[in-house]
Structure 1
Amino acid sequence: MKKIHLLLLKSFIRPFVVTLVIVMFVLLMLFLFKYIDDLIGKGFQWYIILELMMYNSATNVAMALPLSVLLSSIMTYGSLGENYELVAIKSAGISLRRAMYPMMVVVVLLSIAAFAFSDWMLPRANLKYYSLLYDVRKQKSGNLLPENVFSNRFPGYSIRVKKKDPDGQTLYGIMIYERGLLQINHIVTFAKSGLMYRSKDDLYLILKLKDGVRYEERESENHYFQRQKLTRFRFKETEQRFDLSEFNIKRTDENEFRSASMMMNLKQIKHYVDSASHTVDSTVNTNFQLIKPYFKYYTIPTKPTTEGLKAASANVSKLNGFNDQLNALNNAASEVRQVQDMLRNRTDNYKDATKNIRRYILEYQKKFTLGAACIVLFLIGAPLGAIIRKGGLGLPVVVSVIFFLIYYIIGTIGEKSAKEGDLSPLAGSWMAIAVLFPIGIFLTYKAATDSALFDMDLYKRFFKKLRIRKRHAV
Structure 2
Amino acid sequence: MKRLHSFILKSFLGPLAFTFFICMFVLLMQFLWRYIDEFVGKGLDWTIIAEFLFYVSATLVPMALPLAILLASIMTFGNMGENYELTALKAAGISLQRIMKPLIILIIFISLGAFYFSNVIMPIASLKTSTLLYDIKKQNPELILKEGIFTNDLPKFSVKVGKIDKNTGMLHDLLIYDHREGLGNTDVTVADSGTMVTSADKLTMNLTLYSGNIYQEVKQKPRDRDKNHPSRRIKFDEFKQNISLPGNDLKRTDENRFKNSYRMLNLGQLVNQEDSLNSIIEEEKNNFSKSLLVRHYFQKEPKNLLNDSIKSVLITEKIKDADSLFNKLNPSKKLTTISYALDKGRKARENIARKDNELSGQIKWLRKFTNEWHRKFTLPFACFIFFFIGAPLGAIIRKGGLGMPVIVSILFFIIYYIISMTAERFSKELVLEPVWGMWMSSLIVLPLGIILTYKATTDSTVFNIENYIDFFKKINPLKFFKKKNE
TM-score normalized by the length of structure 1? 0.82
Partner residue in 2 for 1:161: 161
Aligned position for 1:170: 169
Partner Cα separation in structure 2 for residue 441 and residue 428 of structure 1: 22
1:409-438 per-residue CA deviation (whole Å, 9 max, x = no partner) reads 111111011111111101110111111111
Residues 205-254 of structure 1 show CA distances to partners (whole Å, capped at 9, x for unaligned) of 455x59x4587999xxxxxxxxx99785659xxx8643221665433322
Task: Name 1:223's counterpart in structure 2.
Answer: none
Counterpart secondary structure, 1:170: coil
How many equivalent residue pairs? 439
Pair 1:457–1:217, CA change in 2 (3 A): closer
Pairs within 5 Å for 1:44-443: 44-149=44-149, 151=151, 153-154=153-154, 159-164=159-164, 170-173=169-172, 175=174, 190=191, 192=193, 194=195, 196=196, 198-206=198-206, 212=210, 241-245=242-246, 248-293=249-294, 294-295=296-297, 315=324, 318-319=327-328, 321-443=330-452
Q: Which amino acid aligns with 2:170?
A: L
Secondary structure at the counterpart of residue 430 of structure 1: helix
1: CA distance, partners of 2:285 / 2:234: 75
Cα-to-partner distance string for 1:336-357 (whole Å, 9 max, x where unaligned): 1232343343222211111111
Amino acid aligned to 1:267: G
CA distance in 2, matches of 1:309, 1:418: 55
Residues 171 and 101 of structure 1, relative CA distance in 2, 3 Å threshold = farther
Verify the 8 A CA contact 1:387 1:453 in the aligned structure 2: no
- Give structure 1 stretches of 5+ with no counterpart: 219-227, 298-307, 466-474
How far does the alpha carbon of each residue in 1:64-97 deviate from its partner, in whole angstroms, 9 at most, with x for none?
Answer: 0100000000000100111111112212221101
Report the Cα distance in structure 2 between the residues aligned to 1:424 and 1:314, rounded to whole angstroms: 44
**Structure 2 contact 395–456 (Cα < 8 Å) conserved:** yes
Q: Secondary structure at the match of 1:423?
A: coil
Q: CA deviation at 1:106?
A: 0.7
User: RMSD of the TM alignment (CA)?
Assistant: 3.6
Which residue of structure 2 aligns with residue 305 of structure 1?
Answer: none
Most deviating of 326-335 and 82-91: 326-335
Amino acid at match of 1:245: P
Percent identity, aligned pairs only? 39
Shift of residue 157, structure 1, vs aligned partner: 5.6
Deviation at residue 193 of structure 1 after TM alignment:
5.7
Q: 1:93 to 1:177 in 2, by over 3 A?
A: closer
Q: Structure 1 residues 113, 166: CA separation in 2 closer, same or farther (over 3 Å shift)?
A: farther
Structure 2 gap ranges (5+): 217-231, 300-316, 476-486
Question: What is the Cα deviation at residue 320 of structure 1?
Answer: 6.8
> What is the SS of the residue equivalent to 1:162?
strand
User: 1:103 deviation in Å?
Assistant: 0.3
Deviation for aligned residue 1:296: 6.2
Q: Which residue of 2 aligns with 1:39?
A: 39
Q: Cα–Cα, structure 1 residues 229 and 146, in superposed 2: closer, same or farther, change >3 Å?
A: closer
Contact 1:318–1:324 (CA under 8 A) maintained in structure 2:
no
State the one-letter code of the partner of 1:48. I
**Residues 1:16 and 2:16 aligned together:** yes
Would the alpha carbon gap of residues 76 and 253 (structure 1) be closer, same or farther in structure 2, given more than 3 Å must change? Answer: same
Kindly indicate whether the alpha-carbon contact (under 8 Å) linking 1:187 and 1:214 is maintained by their aligned counterparts in 2.
no
Task: Judge conservation of contact 1:157–1:176 (CA < 8 Å) in 2.
Answer: no
Q: Which residue of 1 aligns with 2:219?
A: none
Displacement, 1:29?
A: 1.0
Q: Which moved more, 1:5-14 or 1:196-205?
A: 196-205
Q: Does 1:448 align with 2:449?
A: no
Cα offsets for 1:244-287 (capped at 9, x unmatched)? 21665433322221221111111111100011111111111112
Structure-2 change in CA distance of 1:166 and 1:409 (3 Å): farther
CA deviation after TM superposition for structure 1 residue 164, in Å: 2.8
